[in-house]
Structure 1
Amino acid sequence: MIVGLVGQNCSGKDTAADYFVSKKGFEYYSLSDYLREELEKEGKPVTRENLGELGNALRAKFGNGILGEKALEHFRQGKNYIVVSIRHPEEAKALMTRTDFVLVRLDAPAQARFERMKARNREEDPKTFEEFLHLEKIENEGGSGRAIKETMDMAKYSIDASGSMDEERTEVGKLCLKLNIT
């Protein structure tokens, strides 16, 4: 089975992915892994900006589903994967060509997500709530090469990630029961 996670910045995707890896034995895969590999080959630093620029360049050259298509090359039959960094509907559509793929959205309020972002304290992250909302707006507009909100709307399942990490893990556990993941 392949479970794809989609959500806004700091919506709990990593917490959910960690649950699938540590509790259910899934293998972790980020659509950004391919971008990281390409940046390293080019000798460029792996920054949010460089990842975004390369992703947009690849989408412009090969189509908006390119990162989903590259991910499919990585997956092996009979293995379970948890996939993050799905940012465009065409990436999700590429992954949906696998009959064992399921898309899950994670929801959390903007203010809670901003507080999580501040807590992780990454240098490249927005420093004010206004900057955070501006970045989110850019990432939700299809012209940026990313359309996260539209991709979230494609999900068959959702997880309420507005609470604590423990509460989110409980929600992920409930989803696993629904999906018959033991």
Structure 2
Amino acid sequence: MKIIGITGKIGSGKDAVSKYLVKEHGFKSISIGDLIRAEAKKQGVSLTRINLSRISKKFTDKFGLDYWSEYAVKKIKQMKGDKFVINGIRRFEDYNQISKSFKSFKFYMVDVKPKTRFERMKKRSRPGDPKTYDQFKKQEK
């Protein structure tokens, strides 16, 4: 089994890397951010960055810092296939959980300039994404 983990700041291109691996190399994709967004929808909460952060924290406070990566590992083990990309790994605990679960795990970081990240976020226009560069800089702190 081949497992690739992707990390990077918001708007760095993690989704683009995942989509490339899916389209060009037949990987199946699990996004930790999508798992959190699905939980927010289930709870009827709007998908703002603050709300998503609160939901993520609520679960990690209750079940441990590796909760979301453990959830992703369980989903992978239920899926068919032998190539998976896990997008949005944020914590060292997530890295440990996934690398412990899959010996073939490889981990990569996507890094781009802040201006590029801001332009990408503006273009994708997700709820909670900054509309101005000043908002982006405040969010970065």
Q: TM-score with structure 1 length normalisation?
A: 0.68
Q: Report the CA distance shift for 1:122/1:70 in structure 2 as closer, same or farther (over 3 A).
A: closer
Q: Report the CA distance shift for 1:25/1:124 in structure 2 as closer, same or farther (over 3 A).
A: same
Distance 2:116 2:127 in 1: 19
1:87 paired residue number: 90
Equivalent runs, 1:8-87 vs 2, <5 Å: 8-76=9-77, 79-87=82-90
Unaligned runs of 5+ in 1: 138-182
Residue deviations 1:115-142 (CA, integer Å, cap 9, x gap) = 22222233421122232122223xxxxx
2:122 paired residue number: 118
Distance 1:78 1:27 in 2: 7
Unaligned runs of 5+ in 2: none
Contact 2:28 2:81 in 1 (8 A): no
Q: Report the CA distance shift for 1:30/1:123 in structure 2 as closer, same or farther (over 3 A).
A: closer
What letter matches 2:36 in structure 1? L
What letter matches 2:115 in structure 1? Q
CA-CA distance at 1:89 after TM superposition: 1.5
Residue deviations 1:6-34 (CA, integer Å, cap 9, x gap) = 01111111111111000110001011333
CA-CA distance at 1:4 after TM superposition: 0.8
Aligned length: 137
Aligned counterpart for 1:102 among listed residues 103, 106, 129:
106
Contact 2:49 2:127 in 1 (8 A): no
Distance 2:107 2:16 in 1: 16
Q: Report the CA distance shift for 1:126/1:16 in structure 2 as closer, same or farther (over 3 A).
A: same
Percent identity among equivalent residues? 34
What letter matches 1:95 in structure 2? I
CA-CA distance at 1:87 after TM superposition: 1.6
What letter matches 1:114 in structure 2? F
Distance 2:32 2:92 in 1: 13
The alignment yields a C-alpha RMSD, in angstroms, of 1.9
What letter matches 1:94 in structure 2? Q
Q: TM-score with structure 2 length normalisation?
A: 0.85
Distance 2:47 2:99 in 1: 28
